[in-house]
């Protein structure tokens, strides 16, 4: 049975998804959260846990906490909904306004764009999902939030180069009157090693431990529908809860301008939708209207391209051997060296880090690996789509390759670069985007570092 046939069949067999409940409890070791979702006879209970830290105030748990946890459940449910794609989602544990329902349907539809595309499902925004609430009325909000540490920033750390740049540029700036707290979801080798390289211990970080219900993994193995979900949207809602509990109102993400480019040319299918400025703007409006205007979520690196971020990252060699951006190798904390994400990271850094050092970071010369030719062609635009990974724009990749050729290589080119014609029109290293949500003082810091890197 094709995935499209499964989709249609599942929607008839399982017409309803129910968000039954959310529970949270402060215990001696931290805040425990559990959600309950139901599809037919299947019941899912994903959990989350925020361990105690000296800077967390669990005594602040109250009305805003309740609304934030409820909304976290709304974004968590999409991972379970996609197994059978029921046409109707019933929210039994809360109520939503029509504007809120509109927001959630957009997040689910565009956040699942890759899922629909890969599975051959021609879903429409108007009819792929109906959201109804069993409780009457409108949830109270927005709530007041008086931050305890108004000039501090939470910086989500994923273990890659982007969040490292944000952490470096915003950390240790006591003269500016602010500091940062790393935020890590499900700590792993790269995230832990990156904050240690920055001078933090794990006890200095706000940690969120999120678990997936094993039933979902079993259903995936049995042939239910599966695919990409908007992880960054989920992180966004968890980060607001982290902000409230820590008294830190500012969440500084590391999503770049390049995330706005569609993965499939000429479509709205974007692997990085929940990293895009469109999502960020929508989320900020939702937060200010329905949650709390005192919570400030923005992407610090939004004015920059992936190429500029790579340039800045190359100035911090202490991270070269600990950062990782490879999904395939994340569990083992390695670069797999065989995927599009590894190849992109190699290429985007290639103008700024000597080839010998890049080889030592990634284990071999990825530009000389014929097994990666397919991904290389996708990255430079020889096709109708880019790889379904968090990668930069086609123009950035072509610019990076052109710069690397001119800086490091003569006539003896690596295999993937043979026949490549350097591009005349290139992405600027000094130009920054004007449309962003970065506070003016932080934008000036960003601009100073970009200008210094270009000159240096």
DSSP 329: T
3-state secondary structure of 296: strand
Question: Rounded to an integer, what distance in angstroms lies between the CA atom of residue 325 and that of residue 156?
Answer: 14
* pLDDT, tens digit only, all 456 positions of the chain: 799 999 999 999 999 999 999 999 999 999 999 999 999 999 999 999 999 999 999 987 889 999 999 999 999 999 999 999 999 999 999 999 999 999 999 999 999 999 999 999 999 999 999 999 988 766 777 898 888 877 799 999 999 999 999 999 998 554 555 789 999 999 999 999 999 999 999 999 999 999 999 999 999 999 999 999 999 999 999 999 999 999 999 999 999 999 999 999 899 999 999 999 999 999 999 999 999 999 999 999 999 999 999 999 999 999 999 999 998 888 899 999 999 999 999 999 999 999 999 999 999 999 999 999 999 999 999 988 999 999 999 999 999 999 999 999 988 899 999 989 999 899 999 999 999 999 999 999 999 999 999 987
- Alpha carbon dihedral 183, 188, 189, 191, in 10-degree steps, equals -20
Closest by CA position to 408, among listed 328, 447, 352, 448: 352
The residue among 102, 75, 87, 91 whose CA lies nearest residue 137 is 91
* Residue 176 backbone dihedrals phi, psi, to 5 degrees: -90, -5
- Indicate the domain borders of the chain: 3-299, 326-431
30 contacts: CB under 8 Å, gap ≥ 6: 49, 50, 51, 52, 56, 58
Rounded distance between C-alpha atoms, residue 303 and residue 324, angstroms:
23
């Amino acid at each position: 049975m094709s995935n499209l046939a499964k989709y249609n069949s599942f929607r008839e067999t399982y017409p309803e998804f129910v968000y039954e409940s959310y529970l949270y409890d402060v215990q001696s070791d931290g805040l425990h959260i559990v959600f309950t979702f139901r599809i037919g006879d299947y019941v899912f209970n994903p959990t989350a846990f925020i361990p105690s830290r000296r800077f967390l105030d669990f005594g602040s748990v109250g009305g805003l906490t309740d609304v934030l946890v409820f909304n976290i459940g709304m974004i968590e449910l999409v991972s379970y909904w996609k197994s059978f794609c029921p046409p109707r989602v019933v929210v039994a544990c809360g109520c939503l306004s029509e504007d809120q329902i509109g927001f959630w349907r957009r997040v689910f539809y565009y956040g699942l764009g890759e899922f629909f595309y890969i599975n051959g499902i021609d879903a429409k925004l108007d009819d792929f999902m109906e959201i109804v609430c069993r409780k009457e009325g409108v949830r109270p909000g927005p709530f007041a939030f008086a931050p305890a540490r108004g000039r501090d920033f939470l910086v989500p750390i994923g273990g890659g180069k982007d969040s490292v740049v944000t952490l470096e540029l915003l950390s240790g700036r006591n003269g500016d009157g602010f500091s940062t707290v790393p935020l890590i979801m499900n700590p792993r080798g790269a995230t832990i090693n990156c904050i240690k390289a920055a001078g933090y211990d794990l006890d200095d970080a706000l940690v969120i431990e999120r678990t997936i219900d094993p039933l979902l993994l079993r259903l995936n193995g049995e042939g239910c529908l599966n695919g990409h979900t908007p992880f960054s949207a989920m992180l966004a809602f968890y980060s607001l809860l982290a902000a409230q509990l820590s008294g830190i109102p500012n969440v500084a993400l590391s999503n770049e301008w390049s995330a706005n480019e569609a993965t499939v040319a000429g479509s709205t299918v974007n692997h990085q939708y929940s990293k895009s400025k469109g999502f960020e703007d929508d989320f900020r409006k939702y937060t200010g209207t329905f949650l709390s205007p005192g919570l400030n979520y923005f992407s610090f690196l939004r004015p920059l391209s992936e190429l500029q971020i790579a340039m800045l990252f190359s100035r911090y060699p202490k991270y070269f051997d600990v950062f990782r951006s490879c999904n395939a190798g994340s569990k083992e904390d390695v670069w797999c060296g065989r995927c599009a994400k590894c190849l992109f990271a190699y290429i985007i850094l290639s103008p700024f880090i000597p080839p010998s050092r890049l080889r030592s970071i990634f284990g071999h010369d990825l530009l000389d690996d014929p097994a990666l030719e397919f991904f290389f062609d996708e990255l430079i635009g020889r096709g109708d789509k880019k790889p379904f990974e968090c990668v930069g724009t086609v123009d950035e990749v072509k610019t990076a390759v052109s710069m690397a050729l001119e800086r490091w290589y003569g006539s003896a080119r690596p295999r993937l670069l043979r026949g490549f014609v350097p591009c005349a029109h290139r992405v600027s290293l000094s130009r920054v985007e004007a449309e962003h949500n970065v506070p003016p003082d932080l934008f000036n810091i960003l601009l100073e570092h970009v200008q210094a890197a270009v000159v240096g």
